[in-house]
């Protein structure tokens, strides 16, 4: 079972040319600076397939490796913060499955502890938290 972070912006008017360019720039820059080449990065869905009123829609699957989780969460939420600041008049919903991520005007989108170096180190020290089963899906380790 995987967990994903979802981000959606709605408004009555479509993106303008400069807004589309800003979104494209953010996607390019944030994908290039993503911390892990072998994990799913920032992914924005094709705007041509979006529901009416949806101006930005995307998701990122969270890594199974506990040591990578918080750096990925921080990177993606920082990216979505940039999107929101580029499209401030849209109505936003950001959530990790059933957990809504609240907006803070000064800090943007954050989850508690996502930048805590001790917590990140503790999670990175968990050995074999996820293993591949010989003939099946990944399972929790010992």
Give the DSSP letter of residue 70: H
Question: How many CB atoms sit inside 10 A of residue 21's CB?
Answer: 12
Q: For residue 134, what pLDDT band results from cuts at 50, 70 and 90?
A: low
Question: How many CB atoms sit inside 10 A of residue 4's CB?
Answer: 15
pLDDT of residue 15: 95
More confident residue, 129 or 8: 8
What span, in angstroms and rounded, lies between the C-alpha atoms of 123 and 135? 27
Q: Which residues pair with 57 in a beta bridge?
A: 8
Question: How many CB atoms sit inside 10 A of residue 9's CB?
Answer: 25
pLDDT tens, residue by residue, 41-59: 999 999 888 899 999 999 9
Cβ-contact 92, 9 below 8 angstroms: yes
| Mean pLDDT, residues 26-49 taken together | 93
- Tell me the pTM: 0.85
Element (H, E) at 61: strand 54-61
Task: Catalogue all structural domains in the chain, each as residue range(s) with its CATH number.
Answer: 4-115 (3.30.70)
Q: Is the pLDDT of residue 77 over 70?
A: yes
Q: Is the pLDDT of residue 110 over 60?
A: yes
Q: Is the pLDDT of residue 128 over 80?
A: no
What span, in angstroms and rounded, lies between the C-alpha atoms of 36 and 71? 9
Q: For residue 2, what pLDDT band results from cuts at 50, 70 and 90?
A: confident
What span, in angstroms and rounded, lies between the C-alpha atoms of 127 and 142? 9
Cβ-contact 111, 97 below 8 angstroms: no
Q: Is the pLDDT of residue 141 over 80?
A: no
Q: Is the pLDDT of residue 138 over 60?
A: no
């Amino acid at each position: 079972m995987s967990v994903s972070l979802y981000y959606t912006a709605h408004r009555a008017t479509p993106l303008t040319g400069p807004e589309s360019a800003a979104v494209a720039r953010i996607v390019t820059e944030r994908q290039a600076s993503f911390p892990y080449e072998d994990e799913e990065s920032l992914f924005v869905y094709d705007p041509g397939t979006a529901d009416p009123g949806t101006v930005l829609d995307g998701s990122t699957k969270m890594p199974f490796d506990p040591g990578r989780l918080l750096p990925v969460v921080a990177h993606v939420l920082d990216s979505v913060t940039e999107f929101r600041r580029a499209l401030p008049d849209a109505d936003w919903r950001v959530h990790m499955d059933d957990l809504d991520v609240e907006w803070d005007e000064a800090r943007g989108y954050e989850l508690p502890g996502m930048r805590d170096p001790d917590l990140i180190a503790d999670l990175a020290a968990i050995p074999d938290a996820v293993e591949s089963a010989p003939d099946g899906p990944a399972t929790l380790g010992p």
